Amino acid sequence: MTEPVEHLVVFTPSGLRGSVPDGTTVLDTARRLGVDLDSVCGGRGICGRCQVVPTFGEFAKHGINATTSHISGRGTTEEKYRGRRPLTGDSRLGCAATVCGDLVVDVPAESQVHQQVVRKEVDLGDLALDPVLVLRLVEVSEPTLGESIGERQRLVNALTEQWGLESLTVADDLGVDVQQALNDGNRTITVAVRDDREVVAVWPGLRDRALGVAIDVGSTTIAGHLCDLATGEALATAGTMNPQIRFGEDLMSRVSYVMMNPGGEAELTSAVRGALDDLVGDLVGRVDAERDEVLELVLVGNPVMHHLFLGYDPTPLGRAPFTLAVDKALDLEAHNLTIEVHPAARVHVLPCIAGHVGADTAAVILATGLGQDLGAGLGQQDQSTRLVVDVGTNAEIVLAGHGRVLAASSPTGPAFEGAQISSGQRATPGAIERVRIDATTGKPRIRIIGVDAWSDEDGFAEAASPTGVTGICGSGIIEVVAELWMAGLMDADGVIAGAGTKPSDRIVADGRTFSYVLFDPAELGFGGDRVLVTQNDIRAIQLAKAALYAGIRLLMDHLEVETIDEIGLAGAFGSHIDTIRATVLGLVPDCDPDRVTSVGNAAGAGATIALLSGSARRSITEIVDHIEKVETALEPAFQDHFVAAMAIPHRTADYPRLSTRITLPVRPENSGAGSERSRRRRRRNDATREGKTP
């Protein structure tokens, strides 16, 4: 009996490989080899979740020379496929394509069951529903010989009589639709009225649902919230990676790409619009809705994301004076932005605040109520000081108090999200997200995403075995740096095994520096590599946290305050970090630990509030006009604050309120400890004396 011919198949990015008989489907191959490839319809060619991309050429690393003949051609199943996720380019359905030779197959993120966990949730608090678009069922009288008015006017009259809507107009392009709806609905139709001024859509009979989508376009992730405009109910939340990442991890990298590649902004615009359109499709699919039920969208994002989505050139934002193309709120037609929704759908874009403080920060202010601190009749003046920080690749900072609101941004970079970290990764199952280090033994305890137990608790190894411990995400990085200092394994200057630190067998030589062994898979019988925290990792976090702290101190200087009464950490990352460890690290100034809290996805919440409330849109537009903008790049004091903030938690600032909750190590005498107020006073006095010198 002849042995069946087998072929070698390698899957990327997992690297899993193995041989299978000729004619095996790619989906079955993936299942045999343990590859993370999704399928909902059971291989019937319906769902489209198992899409893969075969790659061809010579792969010396794998010993494969793959040609197009090594995979079957498209057959009936793929030709007839009409699923929600289109089969485009070189993509193939894994359940239909069969292996005919040695092959390398890429599994895109959207085809993986365990794709990135985008943890962005929305909390609207006590929101008074005030939708900008409403549906109205109306009965329109039959035309008579004694009348000489058209159907559109007859519709307007009926809306006035039955709903009390005055001074309405009907969109100019709805003439045919109105006629058709009246005929099909036997003179009973549903209309969509926007801003109590204009009929923008019409349907025969009863239409009882109009949907809206609030979207936060972040530099790393895009999050969307689907809502019923009539009830305010949040029907679905979903997120996706921002595909612009391939052009650069941080904002300035993407601006640089455009600078060096004329017309490059079109590529980035196309990428983010495509991702947003896919996200809308994902959201409506989750509730079995149709795209044409979406009639209103609200979009927020930082200035670079804002400009790239709208198709503006972002390069002026990459150099002083950081000029915005537009700063006011915008109302745009969705179809002009290539979003497949109802033809009458509109996209409302919240206003930007400054060149580096965008519409997402306006949304944060709306969600947190910081605008109430403004005087001039805009809100109740509050003598307390409140700080909100949206921690991301570019941190946005808002400080409110004494009848003023100030805003700035600080270039923290992508370290907090796992980039620039040797074992860093995004927040996916298997990533270390919590760390505690025993000060006596130097031994760590960890917790990973997807497993509730800590590493020293029963059941951890079994629960973690499907994913393993794959790396460390942003919240884990914050905690391990703070814990290393509190355990005495790192000095206040951020040096692992520095002067005065404790010895530990977890500290290993790494060239001219030392690293800390956070996780060794051999200890639990796992495969894979050790997770190390290197000296370069510590430096990357120091640089990021110092930039953030320096931005906060600048706002405190401008507001002339020495303390902050309340701190809110916003964003997907800010929502999941330990506030005590974040303060120990020196990410934020000293504050009552009970008043340092997560405020959740405030940008997404603010966008959703604006989606569901016309009065909120008007309010934030007025508030933004009164916010004081501080440009950190132009502030001479930024560098001084930055250098002082490189130490853990800070070179000079005291943390008496944090010390009521946790015992902090004693800083060395030569750290120059003393109040920042006295240091700033000395600098001012020195400057005054220099000014008086002839």
- Using CA atoms, how far apart are residues 211 and 200, in angstroms rounded to an integer? 14
Higher-confidence residue of 421 and 438: namely 438
Q: What percent of the chain has pLDDT over 70?
A: 90
Task: Report pLDDT for 379.
Answer: 45
- Average the pLDDT over 539-546 and give the result: 93
No. of helices (H) and no. of strands (E), the chain: 17, 29
Task: Report pLDDT for 428.
Answer: 82
Q: Are 202 and 230 in contact (CB under 8 A)?
A: no
* pTM of the entire predicted model: 0.74
Higher-confidence residue of 601 and 659: namely 659
Query: CATH second-level architecture of 211-349?
Result: 2-Layer Sandwich (3.30)
Task: Report pLDDT for 60.
Answer: 79
Higher-confidence residue of 645 and 676: namely 645
Higher-confidence residue of 47 and 371: namely 371
| Mean pLDDT of all residues belonging to the chain | 86
93 pLDDT more than 80: yes
- Average the pLDDT over 669-690 and give the result: 43
Domain boundaries for CATH 3.10.20.880 within the chain = 133-204
- Average the pLDDT over 422-444 and give the result: 91
Per-residue pLDDT band at 69 (split at 50, 70, 90): very high
Domain boundaries for CATH 3.30.420.480 within the chain = 211-349
Three-state DSSP at 629 gives strand
- Average the pLDDT over 563-571 and give the result: 90
Q: Please list the alpha-helical segments (H only) found in 326-373.
A: 359-368
Query: CATH second-level architecture of 6-111?
Result: Roll (3.10)
Topology of the domain comprising 364-414+542-677: Nucleotidyltransferase; domain 5 (3.30.420)
Per-residue pLDDT band at 678 (split at 50, 70, 90): very low
Buried b (16+ CB within 10 A) or exposed e, 631-662: bbeebeebebbbebbbbbbbbbbbbebbeeee
> How many residues does the structure list for the chain?
694
Domain boundaries for CATH 3.10.20.30 within the chain = 6-111
Topology of the domain comprising 133-204: Ubiquitin-like (UB roll) (3.10.20)
- Using CA atoms, how far apart are residues 361 and 353, in angstroms rounded to an integer? 8
Task: Report pLDDT for 122.
Answer: 62
**Poorest-pLDDT segment among 47-51, 264-268, 511-515, 555-559:** 47-51
